[in-house]
Amino acid sequence: MEYRRLGRSGLKVSILSLGSWVTFDTQVDDELAVKCIGAAGDAGCNFFDNAEAYAGGKSEEIMGRAFRELGWPRWSYVLTTKLFWGIHGDVPNMRNTLNRKYLMHAIDGSLERLGDDFVDVVYCHRCDPDTPMEEIVQTFTEIIEHKKAHYWGTSEWTADEVRSAIDIADRHGWHKPVTEQSQYNLLERRKVEKEFARITDDFGYGNTIWSPLASGLLTGKYADGIPEDSRGALEGYEWLQDRLSDQDVIERVERLRPISERLDCSMAQLSLAWATKHPMVSSVITGASKVEQVEQNFAALDVIPKLDDDVMGEIDEALGR
Ligand SMILES: NC(=O)c1ccc[n+]([C@@H]2O[C@H](COP(=O)([O-])OP(=O)(O)OC[C@H]3O[C@@H](n4cnc5c(N)ncnc54)[C@H](OP(=O)(O)O)[C@@H]3O)[C@@H](O)[C@H]2O)c1
């Protein structure tokens, strides 16, 4: 396993990591969570991603219990959570916000569910245009100073919003955010490769990217329709179905199949290995509903050296870039 710095911070994170969106609680119970986290750890994974909103808080509870069951020393892994959406329903100040009242309440709730005293990184799950940037940056500074988190980051912020947070932190001597968490995969490249290119150069801003398989589409398993035991068939995720059955996108994805066959790897492994190649990506957050998927996905590490400039060019060509 390769470990990269989280942006310009000194924190080292494994280039492949594991998150719990959709899976924990809905598909992965306590016993399976221990197995999935254990399999990732066996492959050298030290970075585990969660969020207050995942399964209404149950995902944090499951992950917390899994770490206690595994008995790993707390210093051996990096644990993250994300705040913004809220879990108390449509209540003023407790939903879709980064105001100080919500953040102070939410971080304590997450720590209680995780059964931990701190998370290593706390992310803003989205930006909040209704709360002044000064209030957001100052509150995350206090969360860090109260030792409830070691670093803070952003998710799906614009480059301008990140630049504004960094400017304000600089002016006041407050803690700067160190990393973004953006969607990045073979079908969704613009934000990471274009919009964030400048702040990576200027500030060394990191990125721990999400949905590297576009919710499973890049595994090639949606080529003949939506399989019964897949994310696309889950109740509550019908909104994903149009994308997962879009014939144009499926045809593009299928053009990757001969490349993966020639490299003797699965399409999932090809896509995950590809995502690690971008130098501004600190970690590729994988998701899995089965332990076999974790094992296969982390074996993508062996595929990375096969992706030389020629193969990377071939992938671009296959996708029409
Ligand atoms: N910051 C944000 O806004 C945000 C948003 C989304 C996600 N995230 C983070 O990113 C993590 C990963 O996102 P994601 O789950 O969407 O990642 P993904 O890699 O795009 O999709 C993972 C899903 O694809 C399927 N899959 C994975 N490996 C496979 C394999 N080898 N063969 C066949 N199917 C496979 C599984 O679903 P099925 O088996 O059910 O089909 C799995 O749950 C999340 O857990 C979360 O931590 C963050």
Q: Does residue 181 sit within a domain?
A: yes
Say which DSSP state 54 is in: G
Task: Report in angstroms the alpha-carbon separations of 257 from 131, 263, 309.
Answer: 46, 10, 18
Q: Does residue 198 sit within a domain?
A: yes
pLDDT of residue 201: 87
Q: Does residue 15 sit within a domain?
A: yes
Q: What is the mean pLDDT of residues 176-204?
A: 95
Cβ of residue 154 lying under 6 Å from some atom of ligand 1: no
Cβ of residue 97 lying under 6 Å from some atom of ligand 1: no
Q: What is the mean pLDDT of residues 23-29?
A: 98
Nearby residues of 129 by Cβ (< 8 Å), 6 or more positions away = none
pLDDT of residue 321: 82
Residue type at position 54: Y
Spatial distance between the Cα atoms of 165 and 146, rounded to a whole number of angstroms: 20
Q: Which of these, 12, 109, 90, lies nearest to 52 by C-alpha position?
A: 109
pLDDT of residue 306: 98
Which CATH number covers residue 34? 3.20.20.100
Nearby residues of 92 by Cβ (< 8 Å), 6 or more positions away = none
Q: What is the mean pLDDT of residues 193-215?
A: 95
Q: Does residue 75 sit within a domain?
A: yes
Q: Does residue 320 sit within a domain?
A: no
Active site residue 54: yes
For residue 181, is it left (φ>0), alpha (ψ between -120 and 50) or beta? Answer: beta
Report the domain count for the chain: 1
Separation of CA 260 from chain center? 24
Q: What is the pLDDT of residues 104-160, one digit of tens each?
A: 999 999 999 999 999 999 999 999 999 999 999 999 999 999 999 999 999 999 999
Q: What is the pLDDT of residues 265-316, one digit of tens each?
A: 999 999 999 999 999 999 999 999 999 999 999 999 999 999 999 999 999 9
Dihedrals phi, psi of 269, to nearest 5 degrees: -65, -40
pLDDT of residue 249: 96
Residue 85 CB-density burial (10 A; 0-12 exposed, 13-18 middle, 19+ buried): middle
* Residue from 52, 215, 226 whose mutation best tests the ligand 1 pocket (most atoms within 8 A of CB): 215
Cβ of residue 296 lying under 6 Å from some atom of ligand 1: yes
Q: Does residue 258 sit within a domain?
A: no
pTM over 0.95: yes
Confidence tier at 189 by pLDDT (50, 70, 90): very high
Tell me what the pLDDT averaged over the chain comes to: 97
Q: Does residue 29 sit within a domain?
A: yes
Confidence tier at 176 by pLDDT (50, 70, 90): very high
Spatial distance between the Cα atoms of 203 and 260, rounded to a whole number of angstroms: 35
Q: Does residue 51 sit within a domain?
A: yes
Residue 88 CB-density burial (10 A; 0-12 exposed, 13-18 middle, 19+ buried): middle
Q: Which atom, in ligand 1's list, is nearest to the CA of 296?
A: 31
Q: For residue 120, what are the domain limits?
A: 3-216+267-308
* Residue from 27, 285, 301 whose mutation best tests the ligand 1 pocket (most atoms within 8 A of CB): 285
Cα–ligand 1 centroid distance for 251 (angstroms):
21
- 107, 147 Cβ separation under 8 angstroms: no
Q: What is the mean pLDDT of residues 43-58?
A: 98
- 118, 111 Cβ separation under 8 angstroms: yes
Cβ of residue 19 lying under 6 Å from some atom of ligand 1: yes
Angle at 79 between CA 75 and CA 84, to 5 degrees: 150
Q: What is the mean pLDDT of residues 61-88?
A: 98
Share of the chain above pLDDT 70, in %: 100
pLDDT(194) > 90 = yes
Spatial distance between the Cα atoms of 119 and 271, rounded to a whole number of angstroms: 29
Q: Where are the beta strands (DSSP E) in the chain?
A: 3-5, 12-14, 16-19, 47-49, 78-83, 119-124, 149-155, 179-181, 206-209, 283-286
Strands 206-209 and 283-286 turn out to be parallel
